[in-house]
Amino acid sequence: MKKNTIPMPDDKGYFGEYGGQIIPPELVVIMDEIKDAYLEISQTQAFQDELNDLYTHYVGRPSPIFYAKRLSEKIGGAKIFLKREDLNHTGAHKINHCLGEALLAKHMGKTKVIAETGAGQHGVALATACALVGLDCEIHMGEVDIAKEHPNVTKMKILGCTLVPVSRGTKTLKDAVDSAFEEYLKDPVNFIYAIGSVVGPHPFPMMVRDFQSIVGKEARQQFLEAQGKLPDVITACVGGGSNAIGLFTAFLDDETVKIVGVEPAGKGLDTPFHAATMSKGSKGALHGFECYNLQDESGEPLPVYSIASGLDYPGVGPQHCLLKDLGRVDYVAVNDDDCVDAFMTLSRVEGIIPALESAHAVAYAMQIADEMTADQSILVNLSGRGDKDAEFIADKLGL
């Protein structure tokens, strides 16, 4: 294993050859303003205190680590532990960075926070954070997704954000990104585009990572205190990569800890129906940054698919790309069937209904646990709860 000595990121926002700002010069100026404000404000005690207070009293942090005893015994082999991000207010890890972004927007005097949402998870977390700090929030969402994701649409309306239905193109996530971005460009000085993962131009991959790194910081300390040692394997699902990098960051220098990111293999890596960017992608630019991505010969992003809509993104965070090349993190893929099996198993042996996204990481832990010994342990980031997926799974399985 090579030692991780490369700065993450450098002052141009590069993680090795990934990341950067692949955007027009006018926007580089705006992004650099956000970066400078972030670097200045986030160092102040007042900002740290405000954010930590919200993590404690609003989100309910620290989230516990739970030993999944019955699941571990059912499989045999290593002990499986869950970092319970599903217990956060709003039910997933996304609130960690949405609060950070909303506070930063408020401190910078921005008048409106804009974002897109696919399944509505980022939209709900951001609308929540904006309601809390008192900022206008505008969420762009494809009409197809609006029809599919009714509960999240209702929540966003109740939370007081402006929901902009997008009727162009395929009426899904990619069109929502374009629409939100156009709105943002109308007044980038007063508006801020709040990106939902560790993707997009610098400083977002760095900033979102920093806000999410609370997950790994807590987990490392909690695990050491409870078990007297570090886990042998840590794992998390990877869409854009925010919950994964949030867990991984605190463990990167712990050479005894094997780190594994789990991508969606969908209906199989030999079909077009997956979103396994690391396994099947190639280097290129997407949405303002360089990364591995799933693209056609002309560099256009390919349509991607996963049973978990939070994972179907054709790119991946730049730091993950570097960690793959360095060999510090392994990236594997889990298919829909194994994901659904893990979803049902965790529900029935532990009484925890996971998000379909998180179930990918649970499935991977279930695959490797029986090749490990009982004194070894796997820590899974349970990024969110599965309320949003319950109806879909019940229909699918005829329950």
Ligand X SMILES: *Cc1c(COP(=O)(O)O)cnc(C)c1O
- Binding residues for ligand X, per CB under 6 A? 92, 94, 121, 197, 237-244, 310-311, 355, 357-358, 383-384
The residue from 94, 174, 258, 280 that is catalytic is 94
Nearer to ligand X, 242 or 293 (CB): 242
C-alpha dist (Å) from residue 87 to 27, 66, 254, 355, 386: 37, 11, 27, 12, 11
CA 337 remoteness from chain centre: 22
**Closest by Cα among 84, 93, 147 to 121:** 93
Min dist CB 45 to ligand X, Å, is: 29
Which residues on adjacent β-strands are paired with residue 140?
Answer: 116, 164
Active site residue 383: yes
Min dist CB 29 to ligand X, Å, is: 27
Min dist CB 225 to ligand X, Å, is: 26
Min dist CB 120 to ligand X, Å, is: 9
Active site residue 171: no
* CB closest to ligand X, residue no: 384
Min dist CB 345 to ligand X, Å, is: 18
Say if residues 232 and 46 touch (Cβ distance below 8 Å): no
Say if residues 141 and 174 touch (Cβ distance below 8 Å): no
Count the Cβ atoms, other than its own, within 10 Å of residue 222.
17
Rounded to the nearest 5 percent, the helix, strand and coil shares of the chain are 45, 20, 35
The residue from 85, 101, 116, 357 that is catalytic is 116
CA dihedral 45, 46, 51, 53 (to 10 degrees): 100
Nearer to ligand X, 188 or 239 (CB): 239
Token reading at 200: 């997009």
Nearer to ligand X, 62 or 77 (CB): 62
Active site residue 116: yes
Distance CA(130)–CA(4), nearest Å, equals 36
Amino acid (one-letter) located at 114: I
Distance CA(243)–CA(316), nearest Å, equals 12
Token reading at 359: 């179930």
Min dist CB 242 to ligand X, Å, is: 3
The residue from 197, 242, 377, 383 that is catalytic is 383
Say if residues 122 and 93 touch (Cβ distance below 8 Å): no
Nearer to ligand X, 106 or 140 (CB): 140
Nearer to ligand X, 72 or 242 (CB): 242
Distance CA(361)–CA(234), nearest Å, equals 10
Q: Which residue carries 């939370």 as its tokens?
A: 159
Nearer to ligand X, 18 or 188 (CB): 18
Catalytic residues: 94, 116, 383
